[in-house]
Amino acid sequence: MTRSEAATGMLGVPWSTGVRRRDDGVVAVAGVGVDALAARHGTPAYVLDEADFRARARGYRTAFATAFAEVGTGVDVYYAGKALLTVAVARWAREEGLRVDTASGGELAVALRAGVPGAEIGLHGNNKSDAEILAALDAGVGRIIVDSLVEIDRVAALAASRGVVAPVMVRVTTGVHAGGHEYISTAHEDQKFGLSVNAAPSVALRQAQDAPVGTTDSPAMRALLAVVERPGLRLLGIHSHIGSQILDPAGFEAAAQVVLRLRAELAERTGVLVDDVDLGGGYGIAYLPGEVPLDPDRIAKDVAGAVAAVCGELGTPLPRISIEPGRAVVGPAGLTLYTVGTVKPVALDDGRVRTYVSVDGGMSDNIRPALYEAQYHAELVGRVSDAEPVLARVVGKHCESGDIVVHEVQLPGDVRAGDLLAVPVTGAYGRSMASNYNLLTRPPVVAVAGGTSRVLVRRETVDDLLALDLG
Ligand code: LLP
């Protein structure tokens, strides 16, 4: 029996650490039964295990702080708010010693509302608006991560208009390609993020990138030089994010090497040795029974070792490191609680039967299966059953056949209307990518800790929807 099986009594499934099946067969989260949660908050609902979130946040901070202290430098851990940001969640992150990475004016506003000091916030985005940049400058954010040459001038002009110096990191693409799905891999060339460390191979591309005649500098180097030259900008360092749901540490190490070489080259050319290197997020987690997540202690040691080795080889002092985990902190802390509405067996061509189990949510509360073919697990949580398991597909209530919550899962053959069903590991990119498709109202985010539940974000109502529609 693994530790997680022992902890949950639910075989091999990555539930949050506070999940147990009680003797009466009802699953409880941090001491609150899902029956009580459903009665009090309704379904569907996102349920967050606060202690689990805090433990994972602490786990990442401690693992990286320890590993990098051993090689002689410090680490800042930024919680990537895009995974899930509410005022309470931002507070938990801060209380556990994390900073907050935001990717829009909205995320910035929530972090500030939570009382996160501007200096502990980073602002990302490949197309930030002037209003977002100004909001960041006014809040005194610790770093604006610039993503294009055009944006460097824009940030410099806006900083000048406010009479401040903007602290800037340059986001580079290292060519290291990692992560689950093409849409969530962000450091290869053919996508919108960052500035490439490779010089453009063709004259046409150099022209399109507006490269000065004769230059062989990469867009990344040109961006760094441009920031160094502008008095209204302070170059803090270099940022790289290689993708998401990465399970192989090699990608982080390879990207770190590329970034550290670029840092050394910049120092050689300008005398400016930047202090900070941000290696982004992307730490992979287990979604399905039997999957093995990245272990923060191990990845931290590997990356620290790689960073120390390259700096040793280059003869440059170690930079301060930052990382930006989102999914790995909040993903496993969350589950979605649904109520089963209809059950429909369908005959397959190969003679098998697939049982379609429709729940009261769907692609509006979890777009990941439709968008990335993401796989999830599901379980009946309101009772135990000794009925023979059947091949089931959990689907939502939207007018779309791709509205699938769980492609394939074994559920008890007596699954029926009114059953409570939970999908684990929906804490990251569930609520944050939710929509109102078919004008469904978005579910609440409910936190559970120490035997009590509280609503962090209330359920939307039809009145909320109507209030936006000016007729
Ligand atoms: N830092 C930057 C600059 C990022 O772009 C991202 C994710 C993160 C940190 C956090 O990555 P994480 O540790 O959560 O993997 N919506 C997708 C993933 C796209 C994430 C984009 N950026 C999903 O549902 O899987």
pLDDT of residue 185: 56
Q: Which pLDDT does position 189 carry in this prediction?
A: 67
**Annotated binding residues, as ranges?**
282, 324-327, 368, 372, 400, 429
Atom of ligand 1 nearest to the CA of 171: 3
**The pair of three-digit structure tokens given for residue 263, joined into one six-digit string:** 């840092």
CATH topology match: 3-42+333-468 vs 52-329: no
What per-residue confidence (pLDDT) applies to 7?
Answer: 43
| Cβ 266 under 6 angstroms from ligand 1 | no
Number of neighbours of residue 1 by Cβ within 10 angstroms: 9
Nearest CA to ligand 1 atom 19: 184
Q: Are strands 27-29 and 19-21 parallel, antiparallel or unpaired?
A: antiparallel
pLDDT confidence of residue 1: 39
- Catalytic residue ranges: 399
Q: Which of 53, 77, 82 maximizes ligand 1 atoms within 8 Å of its Cβ, making it the mutation to test the pocket? A: 82
Q: Supply the pTM of this predicted model.
A: 0.95
Domain extents in the chain: 3-42+333-468, 52-329
CA distance 318 to 162: 33
Name every residue whose Cβ is closer than 8 Å to that of residue 6 and which is 6 or more positions away in sequence: none
User: How is domain 52-329 classified at the architecture level of CATH?
Assistant: Alpha-Beta Barrel (3.20)
Mean pLDDT for each 10-residue chunk of the chain (471 residues)? 44 84 97 98 98 98 98 98 98 98 98 98 98 98 97 98 98 81 58 86 74 84 97 97 91 94 97 98 95 94 97 98 98 98 96 97 98 97 97 98 97 98 98 98 98 98 98 94
Only one residue has tokens 């509302």, namely 113
CATH 1.10.443.10, domain 3-42+333-468, yes or no: no
| Ligand 1 lined by 282 (C-beta under 6 Å) | yes
Q: What is the pLDDT of residue 95?
A: 98
Interval between CA 428 and ligand 1 midpoint (Å): 9
Decide if 8 contacts 417 (C-beta within 8 A). Answer: no
Question: What is the chain's length?
Answer: 471
| pLDDT attached to residue 369 | 98
Binding-site annotation, residues for pyridoxal 5'-phosphate: 282, 324-327, 429
Alpha carbon of 285 to ligand 1 centroid (Å): 13
410 bridge partner residues: 391
Atom of ligand 1 nearest to the CA of 368: 24
Cα–Cα distance measured from residue 21 to residue 34, given in angstroms and rounded to the nearest whole number: 10
Q: Residue 83 Cα, ligand 1 centroid: separation in angstroms?
A: 7
Binding site for substrate, by residue number, is 327, 368, 372, 400, 429
If you search the block for the tokens 């008095």, which residue do you land on?
231
459 alpha carbon to ligand 1 midpoint, in Å?
25
Distance of CA 82 from the midpoint of ligand 1 (Å): 7
The reply to whether ligand 1 has any atom less than 6 angstroms from the CB of 427 is no
Closest ligand 1 atom number to CA of residue 246: 15
CA of 220 to the centre of ligand 1 (A): 21
Q: Tell the residue nearest (CA) to atom 9 of ligand 1.
A: 281
For ligand 1, the distance from its centroid to the CA atom of residue 385, given in whole angstroms, is 38
- Any ligand 1 atom below 6 A from CB of 252: no
Does residue 253 line the site of ligand 1, with CB under 6 A? no
- Mutational test site, ligand 1, from 98, 181, 327, max ligand atoms within 8 Å of CB: 327
**Using a 6 Å cutoff on CB, does residue 128 contact ligand 1?**
no
Residue 280 Cβ < 6 Å to ligand 1: yes
